[in-house]
Amino acid sequence: MLEKKVLIVDDSPSQVKLIQGFLEHEGYRLVGINDPERVEEAIAVERPSLILLDVVMPKRNGFQVCRELKNHADYNAIPVILVTSKNTESDKYWGAQQGADGYVTKPFTREELLRAVRRFA
């Protein structure tokens, strides 16, 4: 069976650890990064089957990252789930406009995260 690798992108190391803790016993290989400017580099090295992406980050927010990935031929097939505290309907709409495949709002339960991840990985 092909290993399912999940790239977690969040500027908060504690949030990356929380997500890893929720997913670590589910058979996924987890890679976390805290710098949104290193996303493409991490994708090239790790070849994830799914990206969990925070929205509110310094220098480059998750909406920008998602839009750039979805507009890039090498990356646009990788599902992106936005994992964010931005929880209004307009935020969710804007995320979908950027090409996000899923949307999970913080705080989330383990079950909510797993349900979203299982849809794509």
- The DSSP letter of residue 38 is G
Write out the two tokens for 39: 């996303």
Contact (CB, 8 A) for 69 and 27: no
In this prediction the pTM is 0.96
d(CA 111, CA 88): 21
d(CA 47, CA 37): 17
CATH placement of domain 4-118: 3.40.50.2300
| Mean pLDDT across the chain | 96
Beta strands at 50-53 and 4-9: parallel, antiparallel or unpaired: parallel
How many residues does this entry show for the chain?
121
Give the model confidence (pLDDT) of 44-91 as tens digits: 999 999 999 999 999 999 999 999 999 999 999 999 999 999 999 999
* pLDDT class of 2 with cuts at 50, 70, 90: low
